[in-house]
Structure 1
């Protein structure tokens, strides 16, 4: 039958990222999407509804499924989609996260072309290539990308066989597994979540894994918590701490320009520009909320999680809080205070009293600067200078302005 591929993902507060992720996979031939939306307070559903005007997207409200058991939610969501996907309409189904981008090495082959090169396999495995050159709210790809190949994989399966679905891979009787080079996979352990790779070069296809994104986004992500009820993500060891071999993945300028021209056109045609802008503001607000939560007090276990997770972050206001966490941990109190005074949170030589409205407008100028950071660096830098002039004590604004000015100088 015709090769048709459905892609399944879970989305919690992913409105800022869904347009690029959906566009990317449709661009490379994925035919349909099942998006399990759960525990979401941003504009994910509205964004997906607009995207569904151009792409075949099944928006699944999975709050009920999540509340039946958070720990098993991901595999149950995958099982739901597998059961609901008719083999008469689709030949394959894949299971990726919204921060994982299936990428052919040549940046032009479709998923169908890739599968047709070796159709005898039941399961196709793609190693993570962890993105190491992201900046705040940057596009996923540039002409020169620093990626670190990782042994972990995600998978795509052929319909018509019996599978025991997992998050990284699936098991079944007499299944044939392919690695990213369309050769028989060489597993490193019995759970089949890691596959041997040649770390000196990229395979024919891989998953660009935006594990970190920019520093602000990374810190914001920690505030999403975990299904077990923890307020902070506890599975992060720090920012860009991977010790794997970094490799530069280069993309032809013509291919990349064509790719992003079509992406910008899609955003405009589907009236998504303002939604993406607002959603980036949501991510920034979550970052600020996380800092406030730290200031209001965390317990000892949470402090340990945050101290580790915030390793290598260079944003001054975050560095200051991590240092405060360390000092409190060394005291080993039963309940950590971590209350910073207003003077601690301000520039040591300046104090500014901002009312709510003024603060809001400055935040909007800052967010507008972040929105234009990739598409128009000069405008972004001008806006950030305005924000800095209005809020000279703002550590994040000062940090970003330095980055932007340096980037313009380097270019």
Structure 2
């Protein structure tokens, strides 16, 4: 077993400039099926202490975490439901309320040199698949604030699978940031903090962080690249899990689905894939199996995964009602999802919409473009209808050719 797995809870003050001790903090809601993998991953890569707050949770997360904490004293958890006693506006900011509580405590205790806040779908990943977070920070100026760029997964993996041997996705300009605990922070934010004093804020390759003019928590386009370490953002996992996770909603939002999601991604010019070294990956998987056995996850796995399945079922059962009531938003959320249970609902709703505006070729054209991300056959059928209404429309003709060519290429492959 790796030496990383014998770490104990830290209580003494940091004594050396290079004595790097990193605390990882997360907030989790109904994440029982993913906690064991996520915790193992970050202990494996050298994080000294992991603290998880669960909130508004109805699955068996507490049972999973109790068994992990019993074997690993450097992992702890607590409930954050106390935030729900705050006024309504504060309840919507549960992440920031909890993060600032932890930030205050860590600065007061001085037991760690660095802290990072990640979600349970975010995995800190070294490109070589062996450098630990401590080694990474020790190789840099330990006073630097370092932001790690995202790689967003594709949502094309088998359901409830582990970290894949080929990590792939579109690079994102959004980041997650590791802070030395004594840097002057005025306001914690999701991706990049607002500093109250001068700091040396860099990316993983040492280049100075430069924000986008219109998105200050994202890195400038000319700096965006795959670097020696990044955040693998498992926001989608599989199509089934994506649809299930959507029903978690957003804090303080009465709408049942996560309205800040934009469907399953398509490969773009920032697509990259990373083949993890076979021997190191095998070692990682063996380590995970040992970890899973040690924390008795077999006792909780079926219940944890059944929760994901039941939420998927409920998500699908509620789909038609909300697609009918709010087609544009639901199309945004479910774009690219090709599960038959999803595509059938959207197809039927689009048929009704076409019937209600049967002479509006622009409207039907736009519905066809929507359909193309879910079902090319439906998209072609709708675009043919639009073409009959406007035979020489340049967008209609171009899109119809595009859809037919794509359909032909998929048939060949």
Question: Do the two structures share a fold, i.e. TM-score over 0.5?
Answer: yes
Who is 2:101 aligned against?
80
Between 1:122-131 and 1:62-71, the stretch displaced more is 62-71
Q: Does residue 11 of structure 2 align to residue 10 of structure 1?
A: no
Task: Provide the C-alpha distance between the structure 1 equivalents of 2:98 and 2:298, rounded to a whole number of angstroms.
Answer: 30
Contact 1:33/1:57 (CA < 8 Å) preserved in 2?
Answer: yes
Q: Offset at 1:329? A: 5.1
Who is 1:293 aligned against?
318
Q: Does residue 254 of structure 2 align to residue 252 of structure 1?
A: no
Contact 2:322/2:330 (CA < 8 Å) preserved in 1?
Answer: no
Who is 2:349 aligned against?
325
Q: Does residue 183 of structure 2 align to residue 166 of structure 1?
A: no
Q: What TM-score does the superposition give when structure 1 sets the normalisation length?
A: 0.75
Who is 2:409 aligned against?
none
Task: Provide the C-alpha distance between the structure 2 equivalents of 1:120 and 1:111, rounded to a whole number of angstroms.
Answer: 12
Gapped regions of structure 1 (runs ≥ 5): 333-411
Task: Provide the C-alpha distance between the structure 2 equivalents of 1:221 and 1:19, rounded to a whole number of angstroms.
Answer: 17
Q: Offset at 1:165? A: 0.7
Q: Offset at 1:328? A: 4.8
Q: 1:112 to 1:290 in 2, by over 3 A?
A: same
Who is 1:71 aligned against?
92
Residues 198-239 of structure 1, C-alpha deviation per residue, up to 9 Å, x if partnerless? 789520110000121101000111111111222111112211
Who is 1:57 aligned against?
75
Who is 1:96 aligned against?
118
Q: What TM-score does the superposition give when structure 2 sets the normalisation length?
A: 0.75
1:264 pairs, out of 289, 307, 322, with 289
Q: Does residue 225 of structure 2 align to residue 208 of structure 1?
A: no
Residues 259-299 of structure 1, C-alpha deviation per residue, up to 9 Å, x if partnerless? 0101011111211024123211111110101122235x337
Q: 1:72 to 1:330 in 2, by over 3 A?
A: farther
1:131 pairs, out of 134, 145, 153, with 153
SS at match of 2:206: coil
Output the aligned Cα RMSD. 2.2
SS at match of 2:71: coil
- Equivalent runs, 1:186-201 vs 2, <5 Å: 186-189=210-213, 192-196=216-220
Q: 1:229 to 1:67 in 2, by over 3 A?
A: farther
Who is 2:383 aligned against?
none
Between 1:110-119 and 1:127-136, the stretch displaced more is 127-136
The structure number with the bigger radius of gyration is 2
Q: Offset at 1:240? A: 1.8
- Equivalent runs, 1:25-44 vs 2, <5 Å: 25-44=42-61
Q: 1:221 to 1:110 in 2, by over 3 A?
A: same
SS at match of 2:212: coil
SS at match of 1:103: strand
Contact 2:146/2:179 (CA < 8 Å) preserved in 1?
Answer: yes
Between 1:196-205 and 1:97-106, the stretch displaced more is 196-205
Q: Does residue 343 of structure 2 align to residue 282 of structure 1?
A: no
SS at match of 2:65: helix
Residues 87-121 of structure 1, C-alpha deviation per residue, up to 9 Å, x if partnerless? 53100110111101000111101111111112254
Q: Offset at 1:134? A: 2.5
Gapped regions of structure 2 (runs ≥ 5): 1-15, 357-413
Contact 2:142/2:180 (CA < 8 Å) preserved in 1?
Answer: no
Residues 51-82 of structure 1, C-alpha deviation per residue, up to 9 Å, x if partnerless? 11233223121112145223221111110111
Contact 2:42/2:124 (CA < 8 Å) preserved in 1?
Answer: yes
Who is 2:167 aligned against?
145
Q: Offset at 1:128? A: 0.3
Q: 1:200 to 1:234 in 2, by over 3 A?
A: closer
Task: Provide the C-alpha distance between the structure 2 equivalents of 1:16 and 1:161, rounded to a whole number of angstroms.
Answer: 35
Who is 1:230 aligned against?
255
Task: Provide the C-alpha distance between the structure 2 equivalents of 1:230 and 1:30, rounded to a whole number of angstroms.
Answer: 36
Who is 1:273 aligned against?
298
Residues 360-411 of structure 1, C-alpha deviation per residue, up to 9 Å, x if partnerless? xxxxxxxxxxxxxxxxxxxxxxxxxxxxxxxxxxxxxxxxxxxxxxxxxxxx
Aligned residues: 331
Contact 2:45/2:130 (CA < 8 Å) preserved in 1?
Answer: yes
Structure richer in helix, relative to its length: 2
Task: Provide the C-alpha distance between the structure 2 equivalents of 1:312 and 1:121, rounded to a whole number of angstroms.
Answer: 42
